[in-house]
Chain A
Amino acid sequence: MTLENMLIVAAILFAIGLYGALARRNVLVVLMSIELMFNGVNLTLVAFAKYVAPAGLAQDLTQNIGGVLTGQVFAVFVITVAAAEIALGLGIVFAMYRSTGSIDLSDATLLRS
């Protein structure tokens, strides 16, 4: 398990999520694909935190030892924002279902004049 392997797995996950978000008509599948993309990003952040030296660590370990946790802190923020996104996204899905009776993105033409 090296940094490159981990980054490639995360990149594949992100690409699958991007395909799903672009090419699917069901809005729930689009939301799930966005969650896949968030997970790919989180994997990348944690892999960088584990394998890549933060500034200052290479010379002296006592200098900036908290820096090895920065990637994990970023992942915590990404998870929080993803939770907010899914809550709001599902609220929008419900509002859309109530007004159009469908969760198909091809039917979401309310703003098209």
Chain B
Amino acid sequence: MWVQDVVFWILAVAVIVPALGVVLVKDLFRAVLLLVVVFIAVAGFFVMMSAEFLGVVQVLIYAGAVSILVIFSIMLTRDVQRGNLPNRMQIPAVVLSALLLATLVWTATQTEWNLIDPGQQDRVDLVQTSSVSLVTDEALLASGFVTEEEQSAARQAGLADLLIGDFVLPFEAVSVLLLAAVIGALALVRTR
């Protein structure tokens, strides 16, 4: 699995270095372009962690829509000359971020996570990668779904089933939230 490790480290560098660039670079336009690099590298991470649908959504929404919106606002506000200045809270912000990072890293390394045991990782990967598509009988058998109940359970697990099934209330709430956000944004930028 050394290929996976190499890709992981490349993606890790491609996330962290441009992310530092986003907050430190003086030129706002370059900051947005670096932000796009971060988004695409995060999409790569999603694909690596068998979340293909999220990878596609990440490219469409973040690298496509959000970055274009930010570029438009940079163009329209014409405040690029002053660039990306720090405020007076520079040192407290660095200290706070470093403390938070230390806490998170400590938690991530010290906690005993209830990991999926390696024998089942193949099946979990299959369910996750086929969460938006049909899964063939051969793939099911190859991943160890032997009995009839296991196969039908694996076939029924999908992102759409969860979104419309167990999570239907948050799903509807989020659609209302999006509508409210669009109306609010229009009301804010409307010229009277």
Residues of A within 8 A of B (CB): 1, 3-9, 11-20, 22-26, 28-29, 31-33, 35-36, 39, 42-43, 46-47, 49-53, 57-58, 61-62, 65-66, 68-70, 72-73, 75-77, 79-88, 90-95, 97, 102-106
A22 touching B93 in the complex, CB below 8 Å, given contacts A16-B20, A84-B181, A94-B73: yes
A36:B19 contact, CB within 8 angstroms: yes
A28:B28 contact, CB within 8 angstroms: yes
A16:B87 contact, CB within 8 angstroms: no
Majority DSSP secondary structure for residues of B touching A: helix
The one of A42, A61, A77, A84 that contacts B153, using a Cβ cutoff of 8 Å: A61
A32 touching B159 in the complex, CB below 8 Å, given contacts A1-B8, A3-B113, A12-B16: no
B12:A9 contact, CB within 8 angstroms: yes
**Chain B, range 91-121, C-beta contacts under 8 Å to A:** 92-94, 96-98, 100-101, 104-105, 108-109, 113-117, 120
* In the complex, residue of chain A having the shortest beta-carbon distance to the beta carbon of B151: A62
Q: Is B90 engaged at the interface, CB distance under 8 Å to the other chain? A: yes
A73:B159 contact, CB within 8 angstroms: yes
A15:B38 contact, CB within 8 angstroms: no
**Chain B, range 45-72, C-beta contacts under 8 Å to A:** 45-46, 48-51, 53-54, 57-58, 61-62, 65-66, 69-70
